[in-house]
Amino acid sequence: MSALLAGKRLLITGIITDASIAFSVAKLAQENGATVVLTGFGRLSLVERIAKRLPEPAPVIELDVTNAEHLAGLADKVREHVDGLDGVVHSIGFAPQSCLGGGFLDAPWEDVATAVQVSTYSYKSLATACLPLMGRGGSVVGLTFDATKAWPVYDWMGVAKAGLESASRYLALHLGEQGIRSNLVSAGPLRTMAAKSIPGFEQFEEAWAERAPLGWDLQDQEPAARAVCALLSDWFPATTGEIVHVDGGYHALGA
């Protein structure tokens, strides 16, 4: 397995703490031979400090996915560290508090628009910003949370994730002729920084712990990270537009 990503050059977004799924992806990717470049937003010094906990310290590029200048300059920033990209990991999501926790009927459009731009449209924005660096065999992988159901307290983030899942399929369609794949990993609930920001998220935790056929460890990001790394590798050359569930089997059950 140590050669799974040998020689791959990866751009990984979304590391906030070492409990982030993206951190586990970066760690596993390096352990499997990849060269990793990270992006950060806001508290860059925090991301840089977390990056030093990886097996190999990784460079951090500032990226606000709602900032057109950041996106336009991303390829040049990446070229300062690697000469191209074989894979991109989208681990970005945000919704204002009005969009979560049961406020679905009251959230104003301005807040919903923010959630959709950051959590959905950015998947396309990130991919197209990286296209000048990618060639045939490239892979874009994003993270979602099962959007086939309406979850208590998830509200407009659930809508944004549904859009993300659709956007991935359309990206698969439009990038396929260039030999670039687009897939998502649908992870079960994990105690990440993002999860802690959702009021009432413990409802998900209780359900998964009780019902997932394989069981579910709320603290273990590695299963989801392994799936991301597999989709970044050459082991899925003809798979695109797919959603791989890493949730202990919970999604397969009836209500």
Tally: H helices and E strands in the chain: 9, 7
pTM here is 0.94
Using alpha carbons, select from 155, 144, 224 the residue that is nearest to residue 184: 144
Residue 44 identity (one-letter amino acid): L
pLDDT in tens, the chain (255 residues): 468 999 999 999 999 889 899 999 999 999 999 999 999 998 888 999 999 999 999 999 999 999 999 999 999 999 999 999 999 999 999 999 999 999 899 999 999 999 999 999 999 999 999 999 999 999 999 999 999 999 888 999 999 999 999 999 999 999 999 999 999 999 998 876 565 566 666 766 777 888 899 998 988 999 999 999 999 999 999 999 999 999 999 999 865
- Assigned token pair, 226: 């392994």
Q: How far apart are CA 199 and CA 177, in angstroms?
A: 42
Residue whose structure tokens are 């925090």: 46
3-state secondary structure of 233: coil
Residue 254 identity (one-letter amino acid): G
- What's the DSSP call for residue 179? T
For residues 162 and 184, the answer to whether their CB atoms sit within 8 Å is no
**H/E segment holding residue 109:** helix 109-116
